[in-house]
Amino acid sequence: MELRGKAAIVTGGGVGVGRAVAVDLARRGASVAINYSRSVAEAEETAGEVETLGVRAICVKADIRRDEEARALAEKAVRAFGRLDVLVNNAGVTRFIDHADLEKVSAEDWEFIFGTNVWGTFVCTRAAAPSLRRDGGGAVVNLSSVAGVYGTGSSIPYCASKAAINSMTITLARALAPAVRVNAVAPGFVDTRWWAERENKDAIKELAAAAAPLKKVCQPEDVSKVVLDLVTSDLVTGQVLVVDGGMGIRS
């Protein structure tokens, strides 16, 4: 897919990986709708950076757990840009709960994490699908995690939610073919504000780097590059691409 003149939605697009993706899409010539739920200042800052690259940007507040707000997000993007070609389902949440502490996991934890990570991904894709089909074929990229591949991560519900995204990526790729391609990126540790509130962030980062054969953790720009590769690779669909410095192949 040639991105010049195209239009995209990035959920959770104001910060971290979402911000990097929005800017990289703009560098390729795509206008971008930047979704946010709380980070309005960051979303507006990202939109400003996008517009300095010569394309249009809008900020759209939407709780992607709500079907009606997901549909409104897609409608606002199409109204602003006249088309929709790319959806990047980047928004995600977690709770940090030791896997061995089963009693600490509540029903609300499951509902909160699955509501955004799984249901939110589904309803945003469903809302965008008619426009992605109508405008000559589009691409969806879901942000997953190695948590859904290796079963290691911030909590059991989080791991399960990302495994669900991996499965849903394949089923949506079948359901939306041939007009729309659907893929996922599964990063390892990404050095973003996601970890900022963790007292042991630096120690976790060092352990993640040490465990990877490439001895590095992901920066948002590393993940964004792979997202853009999947958006523009016209014969790739239904794939989950791990980006973890080789952590999964360590001996």
CATH of the domain at 223: 3.40.50.720
Range of the domain at 51: 7-239
In a domain, 208, yes or no: yes
User: How many independent structural domains does the chain possess?
Assistant: 1
Going by pLDDT thresholds of 50, 70 and 90, the confidence category of residue 199 is low
Specify the pLDDT at position 42. 96
d(Cα 22, Cα 46) in Å, to the nearest integer?
8
According to DSSP, residue 25 is labeled H
Instruction: State yes or no: pLDDT of 195 exceeds 80.
Output: no
Q: Rounded to the nearest 10 degrees, what angle do helices 107-114 and 156-176 cross at? A: 30
Q: Which residues are catalytic?
A: 158
- What does pTM read for this prediction? 0.94
**How far is CA 113 from each of CA 90, 94, 138, 202, rounded to the nearest angstrom?**
14, 6, 27, 25
In a domain, 246, yes or no: no
In a domain, 244, yes or no: no
Going by pLDDT thresholds of 50, 70 and 90, the confidence category of residue 30 is very high
